[in-house]
Amino acid sequence: MLMIPRTTILIAALLTLLVQAGAQGQTAEATLPGDGPAAAQVEIAHIETTPRMIEFAGMTWGIKHNADGRAGPGPNYFSNAEQDVWVDDQGRLHLTISHRDGKWRCTEVVSEAHTGYGEYEFQVTGPVDKLDPNAVLGLFTWDTQTWKTDANSEIDIELTRWSDADAPILNYAVHPGWGPDTESGRHPERVKISHMKLTGDVSTHVIQWGPTRVICASYQGIGQDPKRLIDRWGFDDTNPPRIAGNGRGEVSDPIVIPKPSPTTNTRINLWLNNADRDKLGDPPTDGKPIEVIISGFRYTPAEQAQTQPDEAGG
């Protein structure tokens, strides 16, 4: 058997990451605003791909897949199997967390189109205010290539209690949400966490992303009716720049509002939080599979948006 040095394998993997379309890095995926820098200390030497594509909301999406390896966030096992991720006859996207062959398998879709400044509107069907405490529904922007300069171009709306059944479930974040330039490791001004109680079957969640201002908001029902507002949070460029760390002693540039790049895209995922830090997402507390329905998505580039993020109130 030909023995290839481990160093050679790792270098080849890194080179593949730079050139492989649809790949997502695991360098510093900051997804735990409530738990600080420990979220990024797990490094997984694995490159996940998106070999299966689906059509949803008038866009093409790749489905994250990492075979039997683990990948962030979590880390977790991610599946692109048809029984785990699908679009139904009504055009709604179904994401699941399922248990099969001894593993809990999470799901994530990645927009093929590049997205940047503008408005992102996600419609979610179902009682997501009652998600299992270990589950995370992520609605966010991401860019594997921009960790050092722009904190992976990451703006988040995450529905999760971070494994604390009594914690608020609605999380907004403009990254870097944590880093080594504060004593606590957290950047609290970059995160808003609040309670959410749904009164119907559908909720709408919105990100408005501009160069000098980000707004996150959530509404009861379909659309952005101010009378049905659940919560709204504004973050602007008067806040201090912050740096991020990646668990290897490297730090990013100082960042106020992250910028998009030609490789930035939109992602939607459903995954398991790793509260015990054992390098694997924790199972649902009731041991049951989880399903979330994304009933609609709309991205409006900034130049087409009727309400520019910089002009909206906070």
Between CA 208 and CA 221 the distance in angstroms is: 19
| pLDDT at res. 246 | 83
User: Which is it for strands 135-142 and 265-272: parallel, antiparallel or unpaired?
Assistant: antiparallel
| pLDDT at res. 312 | 41
| pLDDT at res. 174 | 98
Neighbours of 186 (CB within 10 A): 17
| pLDDT at res. 48 | 64
pTM of the model: 0.86
Between CA 251 and CA 40 the distance in angstroms is: 12
| pLDDT at res. 247 | 76
Mean pLDDT by 10 residues, the chain (314 residues): 36 32 37 40 52 96 89 95 98 98 96 98 98 98 96 98 98 95 92 98 97 98 98 98 89 97 98 95 98 98 69 43
| pLDDT at res. 25 | 36
Between CA 75 and CA 93 the distance in angstroms is: 23
| pLDDT at res. 47 | 52
Q: What is the pLDDT of residues 217-257, one digit of tens each?
A: 999 999 999 999 999 999 999 999 999 998 788 999 999 99
- Domains of the chain listed by start with CATH number: 6-301 (2.60.120.200)
**C-alpha to C-alpha distances, 246 to 44, 132, 269, nearest whole angstrom:** 12, 28, 21
